[in-house]
Chains A and B, each alone.
Chain A
C-alpha cells in the first residue's frame, strides 16, 4: 500500500504540528505523503514533470488548509489523493492527444536486452489500454491494482461506495483484457 493505513492519526498529528509552525513536521509529512502522491500522479498523467507539478500543487493546498484541518474528518493521505486525482483529471481534459512515444534506446546506442524491451512494450501497451478506459474505471484500476490502495480508501477518494469501486475495477479489468487480447504475441504471451 502506498500509504501506511495505521498512520492516519500520526499524519493528522503531524499536520497539527505543522499548523503550529513545526518545521520538522513539514519535512516528515513531505517524506510520508509526497512519494505516494507523485507515484499516483505519474500513473494518471504518464508524465514525470506534470506529475511533479500536480504533487506540488496538491501539497500547497494541504499546507493552506492545515490550520483548519479537523481531526477525524478524513485521512490526510486520502484527502491529498483526492486532490491529486482531481488535478490530474483536469489536466487530462485540457490535453491534446499526443503520439505514443517510441521505445527508449540504450544510452550507449547498443540494442537493449530483450527482457528490457519486452518489459517496456508491456508497460506501454498497458498504459495505452489504461488511457482508453473510461475515467473512473481507469482511476479504480490504477489505484487498486497498481498503487495498491484499499477499496474503502478508493471509495473515499472517488466519492463512491466500496461496491461501486469493485464494480468499476472489475469492468476496467475486463476492458483491459479485451483490449490487450489482440496483442498477446507482442506482449510475450503467445506461449501461454
Chain B
C-alpha cells in the first residue's frame, strides 16, 4: 500500500485536531466592548433608563403595599378561571334548592304560588298601562 492509499491513523488525526484546538484565539477587548455597546443599544430605551432606579425602588417597595398587592395578584391570578366557573355553578345549585323548597319546581304549586298570583294580577295591569287604557 502506498502512502497515498494509506489513511491517517486515529492518533495522527487526533494530533491535528489537538493542534487546531490550541489555535483558538480570544476576541480582543475592543471587539467585546463593541458587542456590549450594541447589546445596551438594543435594549428598549425606557427599560435601559429606568433600570437603575427600578432596581433601587424595587427593594424599597417589596415589603410595602405595592409588593403585597403584586404578591396577592400573583397568587390569585391562576385561580381566576376556575373560580369564575365554579361560582355560577354553585349559585345555580343554590337557586335550584331554594326554588325546590318553595315548591316552584312543581307545576301546580307554581301556578298557585303568591308569585304566580301576583304576576297574573299585575301583568294585565301593566299591559293596560302600556296600552293606554
- The answer to whether A binds B is yes
> A interface, by DSSP: helix, strand, loop or mixed?
helix
Q: How large is the interface on A (under 10, 10 to 19, 20 to 34, 35 or more residues)?
A: 35 or more
Tell me whether B6 is interfacial, beta carbon within 8 Å: yes
A192 to B3, CA, bound (A): 12
Convert A163-178 into 0s and 1s, putting 1 for each residue whose CB lies closer than 8 angstroms to a CB of B. Answer: 0000000000110111
Tell whether A34 pairs with B35 under 8 Å between CB atoms, given A63-B42, A64-B42.
yes
The A/B interface has a contact count, at CB < 8 Å, of 116
A35 to B9, CA, bound (A): 31
> B interface, by DSSP: helix, strand, loop or mixed?
helix
Tell me whether A180 is interfacial, beta carbon within 8 Å: yes
Give the chain B neighbours of A59 by CB distance below 8 A: 35, 38-39
Give the chain A neighbours of B51 by CB distance below 8 A: 20-23
Give the chain B neighbours of A184 by CB distance below 8 A: 3, 6, 8, 12
Give the chain A neighbours of B7 by CB distance below 8 A: 174, 177-178, 180-181
Give the chain A neighbours of B32 by CB distance below 8 A: 30-31, 34
Interface residues of B (CB under 8 A from A): 3-10, 12-13, 16-17, 19-21, 23-27, 31-32, 34-36, 38-40, 42-44, 47-51, 54-55
